[in-house]
Structure 1
Amino acid sequence: MKTTLRFLLACSMFSHSAHAQSGTVDKNKVMDFFQNQQFDEALSYLLPAVLADTQNIQLLGYLGYANYMSDNTKAAEKYYQDIFNIDSANISAIQYLAIINKNESPDRALQFTRRLIYLQPGKAAHYRSMAEIFRRREKKDSAFLYYSKAYELAPKDYKNGIGLADILIGNKMFLSADSIIQAGLEKDSINIPFLKLWIRSAYEAEDYKTVLLPGERLIRLQETSLSSLTMVFLSYYKLKLYAGCIRVCDFLLDNNFLAENIFFYKAKAWASLKEFSRSNDLLKTCVGLAISKNAEMYYYNLALNYEALKQYKKAVAYYDTAYYLFKNPVMNYNSGRICEINLKNTALAKKYYIEYLSKANPVEADERKAYQYLKTRWGKKDNGR
């Protein structure tokens, strides 16, 4: 589709050229080269002609397009710049110059896009292109203004609605974004970009129930968007609809998304359903995948599950592992608590508590309270050092 659009743009430029076609070039032959994607052959055919007629816009356009489609954007830019120097109102050449420069030279892209707006002030696509440049440069206010103008000019073009709604969500203007999203979905209820924005808007507004409808629609469409469906299974989890959370996680896993957080929330959902063995199997998978601090959270949750199963020695073992890997003194407190209360091993509990007191720097109110209690009972903070 992208190649087709570029080809049509090129054909438009060629057919509207102000200069006559060179007598040494057969336009039909050039079009055949382009349709068959024989761009090297086209270049070999065209170069002698343009050397003989360097001001021929049609030939320059052919060469610009052939180089562009061959990924030689530097050469393409040269030919389109030559056209612009001859005719500063050549729309197709300006469009290509804006496209070529949008990533590497956004300031130049901005200049060419402004020129397009000046030449065609009623064309929404130019305002949208300007908005996209500003959005990539994180100038949200300017992006908002240009997306708004594009939407005003062509509200039925879903790309304008998508761009404006995206900016509105980023600005926490959820109601305004939702009105645009719903207008788009009224025209096309399975428009995937609008469904993704609906999910994001509802999730960021903490309206987790609303997330579910567009989320389920994406699943029925077999759309495997990791970021959107992550918000969906998190919403199910936050709503304590654990079976739904597991189902969405399974959908992602079945589609070969093997991210840690998918296994983790599936594990947490099973634990919430008291299926601790299933949860532990998944948490062990998380541990195997972990390459960062997240592993501490997985060991901690494994320990919590074993506590719930009353397998206290295993719970202590996982708290120990978490501590030795990541040095969080709270893990020693948890081990001491189990040894004291559940295993009735006061000597071992004291060892864990003293280690905790020597390392802890409590911040939260609950932990400070527990810390003071342990300090009073088991000795001063520097004991055991």
Structure 2
Amino acid sequence: MKKLFILILSLSCYQNLNAQTTVIDKEKLLDFYQTQRYADAAKYLQSVYSEDTQDVKALSQIAYCNMMAGKLPDAEKSYLKINAIQPNTLPVLFSLASINSRRGNELKAKVYLESIIKLDSTNFNAYKQLAGFTDSTALKIAYLKKANALNAIDADVAYDLAFQYKNLKIYEPAYQVLKIAIAADTSNFILQQAQLPIANELKKYKEVISVGEKLLQNGGDANVVKDVGRAYFSLKNYQKCITLYKILEDMALQNESILYYMSISYRELKNYEMATTYAKKTVEEGISPNTALYYSLLGGIYEERNQNTNAIAAYKKGLTFSAYNTIYYRLGLLYDFKLNQTKTALGYYNQYLKSKPKAEDKSQIEYSKTRIAEINQPKASKIGLTSVQN
């Protein structure tokens, strides 16, 4: 009888314990959410639930609040608990991927996303995100193609896939990908602009002009001007090409290609003076401002290898691009001390001084002046000959 009483009492206590539920102040929690005080919401929920709680709903709320509050390590901790309790839940895997992505751990983010596509091979968002986590062009295209096949009208995926195709000069597929996305969103100027250079490559010049002119009316940027100008050039409307490309030149946005097309256009219009002007500008634009410096470097290397003829050739080639004053100085030293041609050296020392070297090159300036004086007075003291400043 006594044993039966104890058993009944035990069962009663167990039922009472299970009947107890966690009480949440919903109004308080709602106020935290509405005022976006997610850190306070997380702190409140953690004060209500025990640290070792296995309540998935509670852990999800805590994880979400911490993630929204930017407390990513705490959010990850809760999501990992959920993943241990209920493995391979897609929303949890996405959250873990997002957290790791935001923390710069792309490797772990990729692992979670790859787990998602193993569970769901038709998950568009997973493929889209994976494309952003690889440097492999082939793999990136594979992910983007899969995402595009699942949702052909997603503008971001269409743009990225077309961009990859364009870089590989695969123009027709790039054009078609954008065409479908544009048909679904005819006001998407970004997609339309992305299609212009591709359409040019496919010789769809009239389409480029039609679409491009509309984009220009809506504030199209310099790339639109460039693409439309090229289309006009291809259709032999040279004056229109010049008009558009002049806009780029006035904005200092010209490049070698722009200037080349302008020169050709002026030539076709029989304006040979302007054609010559822009041909020269094309040459100047095509030359790096550092070319002379590079030849100076090459000349110095030849000197160190005692290949003086090659050194002179490199230095003089550098001077054809710009009057880089250090080259004059180097040629002066080379002719002076390695070739013993003092008259030629004298000319280069003088050229160096006339090129207005910087004040910071004081030692080279002073040495050039001293050496010029010595060469002009052969019988003068040779003091200083061994103190060449390289």
- TM-score w.r.t. the length of structure 1 is 0.58
Alignment of 1:77-226 (within 5 A): 77-83=42-48, 87=53, 89=55, 90-101=58-69, 104-167=70-133, 172-174=138-140, 176-177=142-143, 180-181=146-147, 183-185=149-151, 189-225=152-188
Cα deviation, 1:304-331, whole Å, max 9, x if unaligned, reads 432343323334555788899999679x
Work out whether residues 174 and 205 of structure 1, in 8 Å CA contact, stay in contact via their aligned partners in 2. no
Could you tell me which residue of structure 2 aligns to residue 283 of structure 1? Answer: 245
Q: Which amino acid is 1:58 matched to? A: I
Residue 271 (structure 2) pairs with residue 311 (structure 1) = yes
Q: Which one of 221, 234, 244 corresponds to residue 197 of structure 2? A: 234
1:210 is displaced (CA, Å) by 0.3
CA contact (8 A) 2:128 2:144 kept: no
Structure 1 counterpart SS, 2:320: helix
1:274: which partner in 2? 236
How far has the Cα of 1:184 moved from its partner?
0.9
Counterparts in 2 of 1:58 and 1:175: CA distance versus 1, 3 Å: same
Change (3 A) 1:158 1:324: closer
Query: Residue type of the partner of 1:242?
Result: Y
Q: CA deviation at 1:105?
A: 4.3
For residues 355-380 of structure 1, give each alpha carbon's deviation from its aligned partner in whole angstroms, at most 9, with x where no partner exists: 9826179xxxxxxxxxxxxxxxxxx9
Once the two structures are TM-superposed, the CA of residue 206 in structure 1 deviates from its matched residue by 3.5
Look up the equivalent residue of 2:231 and give its one-letter code: A
Tell me the distance in 1 between the aligned counterparts of 2:323 and 2:114: 53
Change (3 A) 1:258 1:96: same
Gaps of 5+ in 1: 1-17, 21-55, 331-353, 362-379
Kindly indicate whether the alpha-carbon contact (under 8 Å) linking 1:271 and 1:279 is maintained by their aligned counterparts in 2.
Answer: yes
Change (3 A) 1:85 1:202: farther
Separation in structure 2 between the aligned mates of residue 329 and residue 183 of structure 1, nearest angstrom: 47
User: 2:59 touches 2:78 (CA, 8 Å); kept in 1?
Assistant: no
- The answer (yes or no) to whether the contact 1:246–1:269 under 8 Å persists in 2 is yes
Pairs aligned (count): 281
- Is 2:75 the counterpart of 1:75? no
Please give the alpha-carbon distance, in whole angstroms, between the structure 2 residues aligned to 1:279 and 1:191.
34
Distance 1:329 1:319 in 2: 18
> Do the aligned residues in 1 keep the contact of 2:101 with 2:109 (CA within 8 Å)?
yes
Amino acid paired to 2:85: L
**Structure 2 unmatched runs, 5+:** 1-18, 291-316, 325-347, 356-390
Give the CA deviation at 1:211. Answer: 0.7
Residues 150 and 258 (structure 1), Cα distance of their counterparts in 2 relative to 1, 3 Å cut? same
Judge conservation of contact 1:77–1:100 (CA < 8 Å) in 2.
Answer: no
- The answer to whether 1:294 aligns with 2:253 is yes
Q: Which has the larger radius of gyration?
A: 2
Judged with a 3 Å threshold, the aligned counterparts in structure 2 of structure 1 residues 98 and 118 are, in CA distance, closer, same or farther, namely farther
Report which stretch shifted further, 230-239 or 104-113.
Answer: 104-113
Tell me if 1:66 matches 2:28.
no
Q: Between the two proteins, what is the percent identity of the paired residues?
A: 18
Name the counterpart of 2:294. none
Following superposition, the deviation at residue 137 of structure 1 comes to 4.3
For residue 64 of structure 1, report the CA deviation from its aligned partner: 3.8
Instruction: Report the TM-score, using the length of structure 2 for normalisation.
Output: 0.57
